[in-house]
Amino acid sequence: DKIKGLEQKIVEMIRNGQANDDIADRLHRWTLALMHPHDDASVPEVLLRELRHQFLIPQAALRLWEVAPAHAEAPFAAPVSQDVRTFASSLGQPYCGVNSGFEAARWLGEDVASLALIPLTRGTPAKAFGLLVLGSPDPTRYTAEMGTEFLSRVGELAGAALARLLAPAAQAPGA
Sign of CA dihedral 141, 87, 103, 74: negative
* pLDDT value at 14 more than 60: yes
Instruction: Mention every residue, 6+ apart, whose C-beta is less than 8 A from residue 84.
Output: 63, 103, 104, 131
Per-residue pLDDT, averaged over 40-46, amounts to 95
CA 137 to CA 139: how far, in whole Å? 6
Phi-psi region of 43 (alpha: psi -120 to 50; beta: other; left: phi over 0): alpha
45-81: per-residue pLDDT in tens?
999 999 999 999 999 999 999 999 999 999 999 999 9
The average confidence (pLDDT) of the chain is 91
Q: How confident is the model at residue 101 (pLDDT cuts 50, 70, 90)?
A: confident
CA 25 to CA 90: how far, in whole Å? 31
